[in-house]
Every structure is written in C-alpha cells, then in structure tokens.
Structure 1
C-alpha cells in the first residue's frame, strides 16, 4: 500500500518514519488490517454499485443505499484502501467509480459534505478534482456572519443549525481552499460546545435568540465527543491555542469503547465512536492510548472475517444498535493503516 494518496514523493526521513511505525506497531495490527480489507472485498462483491450502511451482526448482510447518504465517502475510502493494499486494477476501478458517484452530493446543502468528500477522496489516486470542486462549493456555503458552514437542509429540518458531525472532514476540506474559513468553522463549533450549559452536540440559530442548544442528539451520545475530537485533531494547526490540549482531554471517553448513550440505562456500546477516537488520538500524537483503544476493538469486537461489530447507528430509533457500521470499519482501517505505516499521517 502506498504511503501517500497524492502529492510529492516521500523524503528519506518520511520513509524511515514509516518503517519505524511498521516495526513498532503491535503484531496484531497488520493482520487485523488485512482482515478488515478482506471484508471490504467481500462487501464489494455483495453490494455492487450500492453503498453499504450497516450489516446484521449475525448474517453479515448489508443494508444499502443507492446514493450513499452522509456515509458514502467512507465506503469510497475503504475501496481505495483495498485498492492500494492489493494493487489489483479491478479494485482500483471500483474505487474510482465509487468516488465518481459521490459527485451527486457536491451541490447538496449539508455540512456532512466534509465527511463525504474528505474521506471519500483522501486515498484516491485522482481525487483532487472532485475534492477541489466540493471544497469550493462548501466555501461558497460558508456564512461569515455565523462563522461556519451551516448544517443545511439536505436531510430535512432547519437549515441554520450547527452539529458536531458537520465538523470533521469539513475542516481539512475547507482548509484546502480557505484556511480562515476552516479555522472559523472549527472555532465556532468549539465555542458552542464550551458555552453550552450542558453537553450539547447541535444548535439552532434564529435572529431572535441567536444560538440555542438542541436536545437531539442526546447529551450522552457517544459520537459527539468522538467527532469533535477528530475535528480538533484535523484542525489543531489552524488554531494555535494552548487550551486545545485541555479540551482534547475533556473529550476523551472514560473507557476504550464508550456507551452509545452514557446517560441511558442499559445502553449498548458503540465501537464506531471508539474507532473515530483511535484515529483522533493518533493524529494528536497520543499513540499509546490509541493502541490501547485499537487493541480492545481488535481483541473483543472484530470477527475473524474482519467485521467490526457492536456499533450503534441510532439508539433512540432502535436502528442497528449492535451492528457493523461502514464508518466504524473505515475509521478502524484508517487507524490501523496509520499505526502500521501503510498510510502517512498527513495523507491528503
């Protein structure tokens, strides 16, 4: 697998750093990544041109969507990781075709375009054109008065909202065309989180009241702090703020695999939140803790055929609460690939 998606060739120092990563990674990391990527190949054969969303924990059969929704970029990203791992032309063509299908979302009014287009093009051989188009369209949607790209209306509901799942991916995507807008987008969400009287992960803006915290997602939502921690890791260089280290500590879950809703009795765990957190920890330079999280995921929740189980899609709606989730697979694969030196920590 190539250590870089695009850009200049590695320097001798970068090559030595990648070899060091591979040499010092735990023995289980490479085999776990191989297993996850084998699962990607099997999933590709099952779903064809559709996008996998979540899979039944017993049968392994996928629930799919035609257009990918906000998760389509994770499937494209996994296909590119597989293509780089195997070098097979058929896998590369499947990845290229999947990324091309994401173009339908370029004009969609949603800040989840960060999730779709950053992670969907990150490892692509030829991802720059579609990524650049998406980045410029997102910059055009940036609201200077609000200081962010609004959540948008693509999935229904009020347009002028902010949600933490509209920050990761969006920050590095915006930064490719407008670093100030990217920094503002991240800072606004961090300020909203820090100024909330209770844990909130979404906010509504009106002229009459300004920003008001919303109750959905629930305060105990597992992916709230995980998404924000990843966004912080991706955008830390844009902010140069000494207080960010303390904020990162505050966003760390109490356990390696958090509950899907920490405030709800009998809540299942959410491995997808743990996988997101593991990648964020690696990007923040907290390798030992990241290895601990990944070790727990691989040792307790990854099946022999590469399925990361016990992810929780939507606990409130009772949707896929102990399932394999496409973004859980993606962030596990991404973190393992970075841990083992198969991809560069500054890819993109």
Structure 2
C-alpha cells in the first residue's frame, strides 16, 4: 500500500526530531533559523520544554526503538525543575511532556497536577499566570489554559471544580472582546482589566483557547458545564468555519495583520480533530465531519506550503512560518518547537498512530 501524504509528512517531521536531538543534546530547542535550521536553545526548556519532550515520545512511539524511548524519558525527567515554579505554563510543560509517555512519567505528572491545584486561587477562580517569567503574576492569559485543564481534572473533585472554573473564566474574559483579548489583570478590589500585551488579535489566542476547551469538553464532568457549549461554538465559528484564514495572521502592536503564524494553525487543527471526535461521540455527525475536514485542510496546507522538503538548502521536516513574538520582532518566520509538536500530533491522529485525546 502506498504511503499517504500525511504519513510521508509525519515521517519527515519525525526525521527532523532526530536531527534536532543530535544538534541540541541535553538542551531544549525553542526556535530555528528558517535559512539554516539551526536552533536557539535553552537549558531548562522554558515554557515550551514539554513540547520537545512530547516530540521525543511521539518519535519513540512511531519507531519502538529503545534508544528513542530512553531519550524521551531523559527529556521528560529534566522537566522536573518546573514542578514548583510559579507559572500557569506548568500545564503546557507537564501535560504535553508526559501525555504520550510511559509509566515512568506518572509520578511527575501527578506531582505537576497537584502543584497546579495548589496554585489555584479560589478568589480569582483561576490558576494565575504566575511570576516565574517576570512581570505581574495575577493574570489570566489564554496560554495558561492548555494542559492546565486536563492536569487539574486528574486531582479528584477539587481538581475538577478548579478545572471548570479556570476554563470558563478564561473563556468568558478572552471572548468578552472582539478580537479576543488574550490577557487580563486582576484588580485589587475585584474584577479584571484588559492587558495590552499580548495584543488583541494575537494569533494564538483562539488557538490556545480552542485547545483548552477541546480537552475540557472531553472530561464529562467539565463538558456538561452549562457555559461551555456556547463558548466553544463561538470559538469554532471564529476560527474553524466560514472564511477564517487557514493560517491566522500573527498580529502585533496594531492588532491583526502581518505574516501568518503556522504554529497557531497547527494548534487549531489539533483542537478541531479533538472537537470532531467529541461531536461524533455525541451523535453530531455533520459537525464532526465539518471540523475534521477543516483540520485536514489546515494540515494539508501546512505540509504543502510550509514544510521544508528533502534536498533543499535546509533540513527537511521543518514547519516554517511560525511567529514566536510579533510585537518584539523575535523569530517571526521561524520553525517553532510547539509548531512542530502540534503538526506532528495532528498528522499522528490523521494516520491513526494515536487517538485524538492521547496528547
């Protein structure tokens, strides 16, 4: 049987994981130069370390090679330093860094889940953004949602209640403006004030919210929450149906515009596949078909127009056109480790390597 476009693309992305692993050694990749493919790295992984560990686990799952499994384990265990850090990005770090892992990561995932619950502020109703990366800590940010919701949901009834609150409050705040505003600061006397950074129109606002909502809807005790379906329908209408561009603009100081952000598109595609699976399980076949078709269309576009090919001037399997930080002009047309991760996850779901909620 001939290999499909998705199988070929996934093989290329996982081959790129191998060349990246050789280049970065024990460090974590963040973004790579679009001309040379050379990575900018960090020693502890920053907020994106879980995506590198997740890519290594996906490679190990595809290959079954014991050497690949050992490399994935080492990378995941190096994330342990983040368990006690004051940051809502523990959700990203530990959910995506351990979701595909074997049992050796169970203890680390459980520690991270309890740490997230310990950081939950019942007055604010969220796990605050935190101060690990500097700046004000009492923030609600769209990128503090993904991973945090399924981690919290692992910790009994208290965790489920915190997960529901964290997700619904972020959705209510961010979707309260058009375009959605990604960041809000808690006011001393109660209530929230919109932040100017990241700016409204930031490419990954809807993407992170869609992903967090999709994972939340997969947990029955959260999916039954009365406020969620309407918020998810609005998000879906905003990005996954109609005339929304397949690759959203990166945004910046002036709002939407500028180059596209392929990493946001890859995140949205994975969210659409998860929501499609949820819709199909609920008997909404037409909605499921529409979401799945959108996800495949996005993934096809990314692979046809933004994935580097063998034999070119740079390594094959790079998802180009990602934007790390448009406002600062940092890595605006680059390969991003989380872009690679979500492209690989989307392709792995399409090819049947993993299920929609495996990661």
Instruction: Give TM-score, length-normalised by structure 1.
Output: 0.90
Displacement of 1:112 in angstroms is: 0.3
TM-superposed deviation, 1:180: 1.3
Post-superposition offset of 1:245: 4.3
Among candidates 274, 277, 282, match of residue 268 of structure 2 = 277
Question: Is 1:95 aligned with 2:85?
Answer: no
Aligned to 1:160: 138
- Asked if structure 2 preserves the Cα contact closer than 8 Å seen for 1:229 and 1:251, the reply is no
Per the TM alignment, residue 88 of structure 1 is displaced from its structure 2 partner at its CA by 1.4
Q: In structure 1, what is the equivalent of residue 313 of structure 2?
A: none
User: CA, structure 1 residues 54+197, in 2 after alignment: closer, same or farther (shift >3 Å)?
Assistant: closer
The CA distance in 1 between the partners of 2:256 and 2:341, in whole Å, is 29
Q: Match for residue 252 of structure 1? A: 239
Deviation at 1:193, TM superposition (A): 1.9
**RCO higher in 1 or 2 (8 Å CA, sep ≥ 6)?**
1
Match of 1:287 among 283, 289, 292: 292
Is residue 2:81 matched to residue 1:104?
yes
Cα distance in structure 1, aligned partners of 2:195 and 2:255: 18
CA distance in 2, matches of 1:159, 1:93: 36
Q: Distance in 1 between matches of 2:213 and 2:180?
A: 17
Is contact 1:51–1:66 with CA below 8 Å preserved after alignment?
A: yes
Question: Alignment partner of 2:175: what SS?
Answer: helix
Q: Which stretches in structure 2 are left out of the alignment for 5+ residues?
A: 277-290, 310-315
Root-mean-square deviation over aligned CA pairs: 1.8
Deviates further, 134-143 or 198-207:
198-207
Runs (5+) with no aligned partner, structure 1: 1-22
Q: What does 1:1-348 correspond to in 2, within 5 Å?
A: 27-126=4-103, 127-177=105-155, 178-196=159-177, 199-208=180-189, 210-237=191-218, 238-240=222-224, 241=226, 242-252=229-239, 254-261=244-251, 267-285=258-276, 286-304=291-309, 305-347=316-358
- On the 8 A contact 1:232/1:248 being kept in 2, the answer is no
Alpha-carbon distance change, 342 to 295 in structure 1, aligned in 2, over 3 angstroms: same
SS in 2 for 1:281: helix
CA distance in 1, matches of 2:110, 2:212: 19
Structure 1 residues 266 and 327, CA gap change in structure 2 (3 angstroms)? same
Q: Which moved further from structure 2: 82-91 or 117-126? A: 82-91
Q: Contact conserved, 1:32 with 1:298, CA < 8 A, in 2? A: yes
User: What is the CA distance between 1:265 and its match in structure 2?
Assistant: 7.8
Rounded Cα–Cα distance in structure 2 between residues aligned with 1:63 and 1:345 = 30
Q: Is the partner of 2:260 in helix, strand or coil?
A: coil
> What is the total number of aligned residue pairs between the two structures?
325
1:284 aligned counterpart, secondary structure: helix
Cα deviation 1:215-269 (Å, max 9, x = unaligned) = 1101111001111111111112414244144223243161111110185586111
CA distance in 1, matches of 2:39, 2:138: 33
Distance of 1:45 and 1:190 partners within structure 2 = 40
| Aligned mates of 1:73, 1:39 — CA distance in 2 | 17
Q: Distance in 2 between matches of 1:327 and 1:265?
A: 21
Distance 1:244 1:100, change over 3 A: same
The CA deviation at 1:347 is 2.0
TM-score for the superposition, normalised by structure 2: 0.87
Deviations 1:31-77 (A, max 9, x none): 10010000000100000000000000010000000000000000000
CA distance, structure 1, for counterparts of residue 194 and residue 177 of structure 2 = 7
Mapped to 1, the partners of 2:349 and 2:258 lie a distance apart of 31
